[in-house]
Structure 1
Amino acid sequence: MLLILAPLIAALFGGAWLTAATGLLAVCAQTYIAARWDVLDVQREEAIQIIATTTLSTLVVFLSRVRDQRQQQMEQIRSVSEAAQRALMRPLPNRLGQLRVASFYLAAADQAEIGGDLYTATCTRHGTRMIIGDVRGKGLTAVGESALLIGAFREAADSHATLPDLAAALDLSVSRYLADFVDDYAHAAEHFITALLLHIPSSEPIVQITNCGHPPPLLIHNGEVRFLESPDPIPPLGMHLLAVTKYSADTAVFEAGDSLLMYTDGVIEARNRAGEFYPLAERVGQWTGQGPETLLQHLRRDLLAYCGGRLGDDAAAIAIQQPAADGPALAWRKLHA
């Protein structure tokens, strides 16, 4: 009787071929047992079991085959998604001008879709400019909007003298895209991109920030960690269709040895088993004095450990550090002392 369960047990641990082989062995074993007994009642009972085992094995093999095919399809989708994400989200170089830079992107562990997190950076004649953002939604639509914003940023970063002008140009690009590909204003209101833009001049120890509905960056200064909150909140990009936005930039001191951490909401919205959000500032406070690469290594490991290795949303982060006080930053401070 226990032989009837053999195909079911095999299906739990193996694929269709192992299940089929186990089912065949079970049927052969039952046939052998039936042949050894000459009692009519025993033979009749064994015959019923043989038919039941054969039927059950066939059904389980079919279901195992369907399961294996779906797993293969999911693996292919995940592979294509990861390749597309890597092409879109190339890691930043270790240095941009005089700045030390590091970045990471973590896809949600339980999803095969491409996320909408994005970042990129470039050196311009005005200084180093960076953007990190999060497209509302997932899938191919989010990828299209991510690619649009990254392309628009790299095209416009050097052609606008100020960060507010750059933000306005990006907002117009996103809004035009939505006007072309979204059916009506009601649906357009559901499509937007939160974005954080940074401008770090090469000759001044400051950072200029335009925050379009994105989580604020973290500044690490003299071992202290604080959020650089904007006093004048700005709507996310893509709201140009609904309201004209006046963009502005906030300025903060960014001296030699200071670090900035930009991130998406997948970092601060990661939860542990108790449902508590990830305490980003508290954790980063343990790693002050580290370089960008080491800081993000700690953050990545700690974030995954905090949520048990399963992120609820994609997460991206960029760490930037000013060079040692022996370059243009020191000269600027002496000039303005």
Structure 2
Amino acid sequence: MTIPHRRGRPRASGTRQSRLAWWSPALLTLLIGVLAVLTPQDFAVSRLLPAAPALAASMWSVSATLLLGVLTLAAMFAIQIAFAEPATAFTAFALAAVTAAAAYAAHVRLQRERTLSQVRSVADAAQAVVLRPVPHRLGGVGIETLYLAAAEEARIGGDFFEAVDTPYGVRVLLGDVRGKGLSAVGVASAITNGFREAAYDVPDLARLARRLDTSIRRYSDTVTAPDAGEGFATAVLAEVRPGRREVSLVNCGHPPPILLSGGPDGATGATGTGAGAATRPGSRVLDPSAPSPPLNMAALIGGEYTVDTLRLGPGDRLLFYTDGVTETRDVAGGFFPLQEWVARQTAVPAPRLLELLHRQLVRFSGGALDDDIAALVVHCEAGACGEPAAAPSGASPVPDP
């Protein structure tokens, strides 16, 4: 499973730059000392020495900051004694006061860093509940995942996914909660927990979607926030039956998944009952045959949850994603052309597809990803899928792209 949190790959020079920045207070002290020796006495460059411990407070410990202050104080006395500079007492008092203030500032900074570390630990625990590690393989179905939180400090956002192996097949959930950051975690947790429980018991995918709608509505009723009742989520539910090369989909107001036809393991495309599929070379957008309401919106806007079924050909892969992918912008404000990009990836193995997508998003946005992103690829593993099943009764096959 792939769940990166950094916005891009660290540069090779990043470590060297970090080390140079860490040593900058000592280098500043050395630079001021050298300038004090080389410049005329009228300039009194040694009075700039208090800047060194002030800078150290932003990155060093309290003891190291105090030690640098003592060393700069000693260097100042040595310079002033050697060159008979005036105002020695005033400069010494200023340096001592700045060193004391810098040591206190370092103490406050370290306390805040410890608090931030604890908050991140809590966020990691929350992420482990909402986004449990998904195995690479479930019942003959290969699964790859990608997650990037918009609030990198929080390390978790409103996008979610889950996959479980049930008596009805491998069931997959991917969705996006209204809002970002920790405020959306509770809703995402309610949905994923409801899915993990109901996916084993509810035989019909439409009824499963209805159960999740009920779960989020009940959760909203228990939250006292003023806008609790306005929370909703878009999601896609999938049920993969690898032995029959068949997958059922329920799209609850979410961006439609994309089918990559053929690829390294085969060349045939899929056929199915999705009515609005847009055809592209090597890929197809699986628009639902009828709209289904987002979770927690069924009672408000009405409508039923519609199940579409399609058959998978050899080498087919299903890409599920949240709107953070398609709404990624470049420096000119243009949106990321996901469909065009996917159409060029038909020969890419499923385990590498999301890695390439992550790199492309970072490159396209210049490293400025500002929305939660989740993506998931489902594919039948070689030798795990049987022969294609006959088309379901009443199905209207969509021509292969």
Q: What band does the TM-score fall into relative to the shorter chain?
A: 0.7 to 0.9
Indicate the residue corresponding to 1:111 in structure 2: 153
The correspondence for 1:80, drawn from 122, 125, 145, is 122
Indicate the residue corresponding to 2:95 in structure 1: 53
In 2 relative to 1, CA 209–298 (structure 1 residues): closer, same or farther, beyond 3 Å? same
Take 1:88 and 1:318, find their aligned partners in 2: how far apart are those partners? 15
Indicate the residue corresponding to 2:74 in structure 1: 28
Indicate the residue corresponding to 1:301 in structure 2: 359
Take 1:222 and 1:113, find their aligned partners in 2: how far apart are those partners? 35
Take 1:79 and 1:4, find their aligned partners in 2: how far apart are those partners? 37
Deviations 1:80-127 (A, max 9, x none): 312331343122222222322222222336332531221112233332
Deviations 1:116-139 (A, max 9, x none): 221112233332221111222345
The yes-or-no answer on 1:249 pairing with 2:307 is: yes
Tell me if structure 2 keeps the 8 A contact 1:117–1:314.
Answer: yes
Deviations 1:17-72 (A, max 9, x none): 3332222222222233444567xxx44x1221112222222223322332232223
Tell me the secondary structure at the aligned position of residue 334 of structure 2: coil
In 2 relative to 1, CA 109–161 (structure 1 residues): closer, same or farther, beyond 3 Å? closer
In 2 relative to 1, CA 5–155 (structure 1 residues): closer, same or farther, beyond 3 Å? closer
> What amino acid maps onto 1:28 in structure 2?
A
In 2 relative to 1, CA 202–321 (structure 1 residues): closer, same or farther, beyond 3 Å? closer
Gaps of 5+ in 2: 1-46, 264-281, 396-401
Indicate the residue corresponding to 1:198 in structure 2: 238
The correspondence for 2:186, drawn from 144, 156, 165, is 144
The farther-off stretch of 103-112 and 311-320 is 103-112
Tell me if structure 2 keeps the 8 A contact 1:167–1:247.
Answer: yes
In 2 relative to 1, CA 124–60 (structure 1 residues): closer, same or farther, beyond 3 Å? same
Tell me if structure 1 keeps the 8 A contact 2:262–2:313.
Answer: no
Gaps of 5+ in 1: none
1:1-337 residue pairs with structure 2 within 5 A? 1-11=47-57, 14-36=60-82, 42-43=85-86, 45-108=87-150, 110-112=152-154, 114-182=156-224, 187-222=227-262, 224-324=282-382, 327-330=385-388, 332=390
Tell me the secondary structure at the aligned position of residue 122 of structure 1: strand
Output the TM-score relative to the length of structure 2.
0.72
Take 2:64 and 2:202, find their aligned partners in 1: how far apart are those partners? 64
Deviations 1:176-220 (A, max 9, x none): 221222466xx2442111111112234544422211121211110
Take 2:315 and 2:306, find their aligned partners in 1: how far apart are those partners? 27
Deviations 1:2-30 (A, max 9, x none): 32332234345544433322222222222
The structural deviation recorded for 1:319 is 0.6
Take 2:293 and 2:382, find their aligned partners in 1: how far apart are those partners? 36
Take 1:327 and 1:209, find their aligned partners in 2: how far apart are those partners? 18
Tell me the secondary structure at the aligned position of residue 148 of structure 1: helix
In 2 relative to 1, CA 202–331 (structure 1 residues): closer, same or farther, beyond 3 Å? same
Tell me the secondary structure at the aligned position of residue 163 of structure 2: strand
The structural deviation recorded for 1:324 is 4.7
Take 2:225 and 2:107, find their aligned partners in 1: how far apart are those partners? 41
Take 2:51 and 2:148, find their aligned partners in 1: how far apart are those partners? 41
Deviations 1:269-311 (A, max 9, x none): 3333443333322333333233321212222333334334453
In 2 relative to 1, CA 310–20 (structure 1 residues): closer, same or farther, beyond 3 Å? farther
Take 1:19 and 1:93, find their aligned partners in 2: how far apart are those partners? 48
Take 1:10 and 1:323, find their aligned partners in 2: how far apart are those partners? 55
Take 1:23 and 1:109, find their aligned partners in 2: how far apart are those partners? 37
> What amino acid maps onto 2:117 in structure 1?
E
* Aligned length in residues: 328
Take 1:318 and 1:86, find their aligned partners in 2: how far apart are those partners? 17
Take 1:269 and 1:23, find their aligned partners in 2: how far apart are those partners? 50
Alignment root-mean-square deviation, CA: 2.8
Tell me the secondary structure at the aligned position of residue 329 of structure 1: coil
Take 1:327 and 1:53, find their aligned partners in 2: how far apart are those partners? 75
